[in-house]
Amino acid sequence: MRRALALAAAVIATARLASADVPHVDVDDLPPLPEDASDDAGTSLAVASAATVEEDVVVGAAKREQSLGNVASAVTVVSGDRLRRMGYRTVAEALRGVAGVYVVDDHYTERVGVRGLQVVGDFNTRLLLLVDGATVNEPWNQFAGYGWDAPVAIDDIARIEVIRGPVSSVYGTNAFFGIVNIVTRGATESPRAWGRLQASTFGASAAAGFAMGDVDHQLRGSVAAMGRWGEPLTAPELGTVDQDRARALAVGVVGAYAGAFAQVRFYRRERTLPFAPYGTVIGSPDNTAADTLGMLEGGYTRELSTRLTATARLYANAYRYRDRLVLDDGTFTDIGDSRWGGGEARGRYAVLDGDRLGVTAGAEVTFISTNSQAFYYGAAPDEVVEVPKAFNLQGLYTELDAKPLPWLALTAGVRADRNSALDDRVSPRAALFASRDRYGAKLLYAEGFRNPSAYEGFFEDGVDFIANPEIGAETIRSYEAVVWARPRPGLTTRLSAFRWTADRLVEQDTVTVMGVGDRLQFDNRGRLQSTGLELEASYRDADGWLAFGGGTLTQVEDGDGATAVGAPGWVASAGLSSPLVLRRAHLSTEVQAIGARSTRVDGVRAGAFVAWNVVAYLPSVGGFDVTLGVRNLLGQRETVPAPEDYDRDVPIATLPGEGRELYARLGYRY
């Protein structure tokens, strides 16, 4: 920590000494205003008014533009400028710097926790991931990737909205602990063409893209590929393994024309499983898992009158999961397929002029087909365990927003969801806002749910797993009070007090089946309650300084009143980035810390962990941009609480995280 503080002091001192020779930050170094493809005038009044008071605009919390002060959630916006200066290469790296958010990487996938809530072994099923409003979570396992398995390249991202708490009143299932909405750069924010190469001590990647047109008529696309050779990893129960490899490909094409919009996305990720889950042979390079996702979405937005705006969209997606597991008696594989398509129509009507009273209403229907297969390689057709399942979802929602007084506003909404195979739910949300100039407060209440995935509800493999026909929906209830302030230009602060109660959580259990023996089964047997405080602040000035920081104190209890497994009592992060030093480089440093966590093994805790990152970002060097960085400069490894998938004869308590990584990026744009 002393070295981190010393470097921060050096950055400040160096930038101040150079400030006499450096002009104020160039306009190109400031993050652009978010575009509004639904507004023929280019930039909407909501964007313009928010910019005037130095406040970000959020679209993911209610499927429409809102300033942060009027969002019924505690929200953090990670700007594109911050992404570049801090040298983030994936969404997961950016999330590690957000107050209350932590990322668990067990070298299978990167799992995101919010305010101490992250069910050990979960595949991000309780956090809804959106790309330009399109849902990424797929129905078979409800998985969403935030690392190299995300369906969008980091260079395509204009900003990331992190929306805390349940938002089922708008989105239905999966918007349980919150939403991460990725907003990509429009044609007016992107170079006409660009390319970027990256190399690190763990792997290499390449990306390229193009953009043409304006806000209302544009076409843009990108492709990104990654190869990881990894590092040796040591776990006491497993020894040293050297199969930390992965490769990934992500492709996206987006277009807009006079109110119509469409996006096509594809990604594939293949990952070796170095820690040999499910009792597989340790050290085998053939223990692998692969995810493939294709997304197609199109729609149209139009102002039907000065008071009414309507949007309709259609989507069709496909996903496949496949693993290859080398066991002592042969090689086993699980295949999970899902295909889903549907549509949504929504509109907002301004009952009174301005923002005094408005009503939003929408309807959504989704048709889903899933299929699971499990078999040993070389098995006869009648030895393949296959579980097909088809079902559909329907949702109706409405939300009222009103501003009866200049300093008082409120929002109230509800959504009713019907599931033909699982539970039907009704999800309300309400918020009260009070504000004066640069200060304000919010009182928030919301309920949410998550229906089990097809894997949790219907999967059987004839070896380990058996389906549970009685499984049902998880529920969550959230109370929160927020105080925010902008006490001086460029400075924004927020303090939240919250209580989240999640019940009937789906967890893996062992059951005894008559005549068969012990089998694994998912059941509604978990409960978590998170109570705490969260503080967050960000700063940016005209000289080019950028700073952010925050922390969360939580008490997370399970159904027995004990501290929940894998739940840290505190999470903190802070970052600082200088103006252009010597007219060349932004120097940035970031510290991320996570408190000690209990594991599934009594008496064994995962220790507190501090990561220190340092980055130099040169936005223009002869037409090129250069990023040089070190992640986890201290070199200590995080001890990650292990899920039960890794257990052997005895439970495995923890797994090692990544070591120190050096990386460099070189880009060119025109």
What is the Cβ-side half-sphere exposure of residue 446, based on CA atoms within 13 angstroms?
Answer: 34
Lowest mean pLDDT among 246-250, 251-255, 377-381, 544-548: 377-381
According to the model, what pLDDT value does residue 69 have?
A: 79
Q: Is the pLDDT of residue 41 over 70?
A: no
* Whole-number pLDDT of residue 540: 94
Q: What's the whole-number mean pLDDT along residues 552-572?
A: 95
pLDDT band at 62 (very low <50, low <70, confident <90, very high): confident
Secondary structure tally for the chain: helices H, strands E: 6, 37
The pLDDT value recorded for residue 95 is: 97
More confident residue, 589 or 58: 589
Range of the domain at 218: 2-669
Instruction: Please compute the mean of the pLDDT values over residues 234-260 and round it to a whole number.
Output: 94
Count, residues in the chain: 670
- 8 Å CB contact between 167 and 43: no
Structure tokens at 629: 């960085």
CA–CA separation, 388 vs 435, rounded Å? Answer: 53
Amino acid at 138: E
Phi, psi of 244 (to 5 degrees): -90, 65
Q: How many alpha carbons fall within 13 Å on the CB side of residue 612?
A: 12
| H helix or E strand, kind and range, residue 373 | strand 357-376
Dihedral sign, Cα of residue 12, residue 14, residue 16, residue 19: negative
CA 554 vs. chain centroid, Å, equals: 20
Share the mean pLDDT of the chain: 90
Q: What percent of the chain has pLDDT over 90?
A: 80
Inter-residue contact 71 to 64 (CB < 8 Å): no
Number of domains in the chain: 1
CA nearest to 303, candidates 35, 37, 34, 33: 37
pLDDT range class, residue 71, cuts 50, 70, 90: confident
User: Which contacts (CB < 8 Å, 24+ apart) does range 140-143 have?
Assistant: 140/319, 140/321, 140/336, 140/337, 140/338, 140/370, 140/372, 140/453, 140/454, 140/455, 141/321, 141/336, 141/453, 141/454, 141/455, 141/456, 142/174, 142/450, 142/453, 143/109, 143/291, 143/321
| Contact (CB, 8 A) for 319 and 292 | yes
Pick from 245, 262, 249: nearest CA to 152: 249
Return the beta strands (E) in 136-245 as ranges: 157-164, 178-184, 193-200, 203-213, 217-228, 233-235, 239-241
CB 428 within 8 A of CB 166: no
Residue 606, C-beta contacts closer than 8 angstroms, at least 6 positions apart: 566, 596, 597, 598, 599, 638, 639, 640, 641, 653, 654
**Residue 144's pLDDT is what?**
95
Q: What are the pLDDT digits (tens) for 539-552?
A: 999 999 999 999 99
Determine contact, residues 302/309, Cβ cutoff 8 Å: yes
* Nearest partner of 655 among 547, 523, 566, 580, judged by Cα: 566
Q: Pairing between strand 178-184 and 127-131?
A: parallel
Do the beta carbons of residue 128 and residue 167 sit within 8 Å?
yes
Residues 631-654: tens digit of each pLDDT = 999 999 999 999 988 988 889 999
- pLDDT, residue 31, reads 39
pLDDT tens per residue, range 95-126: 999 999 999 999 999 999 999 999 998 999 99
- Which secondary-structure segment (H or E) carries 534? strand 517-540
What's the pLDDT score for residue 19? 39
Question: 24: domain CATH number?
Answer: 2.40.170.20
Question: Which residue reads 């789906």 in tokens?
Answer: 506
- What pLDDT is recorded for position 14? 41
What percent of the chain is modeled with pLDDT above 70? Answer: 92
pLDDT, mean of residues 249-264:
96
